[in-house]
Amino acid sequence: RRSDLSTFPELFETNSLSLCLPFPSASVRFDGGYFLVGIEGVSQDDTVPMNLLRVCLAQINPTVGALHANAERIAEIAHVAVRKRADLIVFPEMALSGYPPEDLVLRPHFLADVERFLSDLERRLPTGPVVLVGAPRHAPDGARFNSAFAFAGGRRIGVYDKMLLPNYGVFDEVRLFRPGERPGRIRMGPWRIGIHICEDSWHPEKPPCVSLRGAVDFVVNLSSSPYFYRKIRLRERVLRAAARAVGAPLLYCNLVGGQDELVFDGGSIAIDESRVWARAGVFEEDLLIVDMGPATKVVEEGSEGAGARLDIVGPPPRAGYLRRPSTARIEPLPSPEAEVYAALQLGLRDYVRKNGFHGVVVGLSGGIDSALTATIAVDALGPNCVHGISMPSRYTSPGTRTDARRVAESLGISFIEQPIERLYTAFLEELTPHWRGRAPDVTEENLQARIRGVILMAFSNKFGWLAVTTGNKSEVATGYCTLYGDMAGGFAVLKDVPKTLVYRLARWRNRQGPRPVIPPSTIRRAPTAELRENQKDQDTLPPYPVLDGILERYVERDEGVEQIVAVGYDAATVRRVARMVDRNEYKRRQAAPGVKITPKAFGRDRRIPITNAYDHEASD
């Protein structure tokens, strides 16, 4: 278009107005104010206007600390994006270091290695587009920042430092980083593009959003936003509010993958204040291509919202591309059960693979928790990597013993039945003389669980399998579990999954195939630990629907006993549950890490003192 000549003068010969295109068979003619470019074999329907900006949101799964592997992946994906004709390539927050790097950033040698790989990326990244990469930054004065580095033309052309540092829940960035002081923009030809890093978009009333209002055509956000149940929908509401505050669309690139107890769901999106334009897949790596433009305005310095800012000047979009307009790809959101199940799968898969385990071993009791755990493990790792061990005792019923074998057969995993009766008898014979005259109690029950833990850990040591525990959040919350027994293991898949949700997930998974993988009898059976005759969970615990309702309010919402009773729960039951939760903090501190899927999980989310004499009932 004639008006574009002044914007991209280097693309045209001064007098002849001929296009410099990388196509030997290109023909150009002027018609209706536009230069029409023809290439042999390419129809006019395959082209888009040359002043579109193609943005690639590179939703990748890095490993914390794996600087070489992460840099290799960033470079590889950037070159893939170039083949898709990207002008601007955006990687997630801390893509080079992995997120969260935690106290690694307190180590000077780690930050020096980060700098070395950033320099290496200058050489490795494609030179044409602008590439944004998240990484920690060590400033000359010793300060550390959570930053976005901009690359183009074989060099770093600028850096933006995250302004809002989260310091709640699983985050403690205030302890690690200094906040940035100035908003940032990229200038690419007529486009003015704002830069946010994760939390910057979560507070529309604060400077990262307010200072960009009226000053940008759109905002890109480099994010590592961890998952919890229904977080995907919450995040989209937050980003719509940010787009409204800025007055421009927001292109959000989120991390994906499992890191210790956290899972990052991806779901990168292009969104404005009213709708989602495009959405990547969730719980998987993906490249989301979004064509932006033509630019709605050219923002002049000094215009509304410009203020004091850090400008990163990049090359203009490369004219001359002949490319098909991208159809906005909007991947559907999964159902609530599918969403949680995918998070559990990804969390387990990445924990196993990133930590170098050869497979997992699961104790199969014939109950619903172990059946669901084994099923998730098979879906995550494949049947050859999952090994089931049944350890029946004198109290194990024929039904649970049969169901343990049925689960293994339906999943196609290896199965060992190792009865514990002789070991249990030997322990009783050795120990009973020391407590002669005392009636059997929880001691004898816990011995069985601990013998099983020893057996599982023996197989773990011998074969390099990760021992996966099977306890759920309802049990962990109330202490209905045995230290060094059923809590023994390296990873707890269901640690943050309430018992009622365990049943929902089991039923959902059974509907996903031609036949149920979890025996219906396992789902129907009243839950029991089978550590004594005729034992049922509800001998000790309230019914699970009641218990889980109380736990959600007491643990996740931090409501007090009076508040919970006020909504209709029995006062004595609420007090009993609260006491069980409070007195079992010492057990939870010794539990294996597990996948976070609720807004407040035990662990990084909830830091209650073990020695704690606070009595909420006695306080004024």
Catalytic residue numbers read 93, 162, 198
| For the chain, counts of helices (H) and of strands (E) | 17, 22
- Cα separation of 569 and 562, whole Å? 10
* Start-to-end C-alpha separation, the chain: 75
Query: Within a 10 A sphere around the Cβ of 139, how many other Cβ atoms?
Result: 13
What's the order of all strands across the beta sheet hosting 269-271?
276-279, 269-271, 250-254, 218-223, 191-197, 184-188, 310-313
Q: Which residues contact 394 (CB under 8 A, 6 or more apart)?
A: 421, 424
**Tokens for 53?**
């900006």
H or E segment at 135? strand 130-138
- Cα separation of 331 and 326, whole Å? 14
- Cα separation of 99 and 288, whole Å? 21
Secondary structure of 549-616 as H, E, C letters: HHHHHHHHCCCCHHHHHHCCCCHHHHHHHHHHHHCCHHHHHCCCCECCCCCCCCECCECCCCCCCCCC
**Tokens for 219?**
């905002």
- Cα separation of 174 and 168, whole Å? 10
H or E segment at 286? strand 286-292
Q: Are strands 386-390 and 130-138 parallel, antiparallel or unpaired?
A: unpaired
Say how many residues make up the chain. 620
Q: How far is CA 463 from CA 321, 360, 484, in A?
A: 55, 10, 20
Q: How far is CA 155 from CA 69, 98, 125, 134, 464, in A?
A: 21, 22, 9, 15, 44
- Helix (H/G/I), strand (E/B), else coil: 88: strand
- Cα separation of 490 and 484, whole Å? 12
- Helix (H/G/I), strand (E/B), else coil: 456: helix
Amino acid at 354: K
- Helix (H/G/I), strand (E/B), else coil: 445: helix
- Cα separation of 371 and 517, whole Å? 9
| Residue corresponding to tokens 């280097």 | 10
Secondary structure of 317-347 as H, E, C letters: CCCCCCCCCCCCCECCCCCHHHHHHHHHHHH
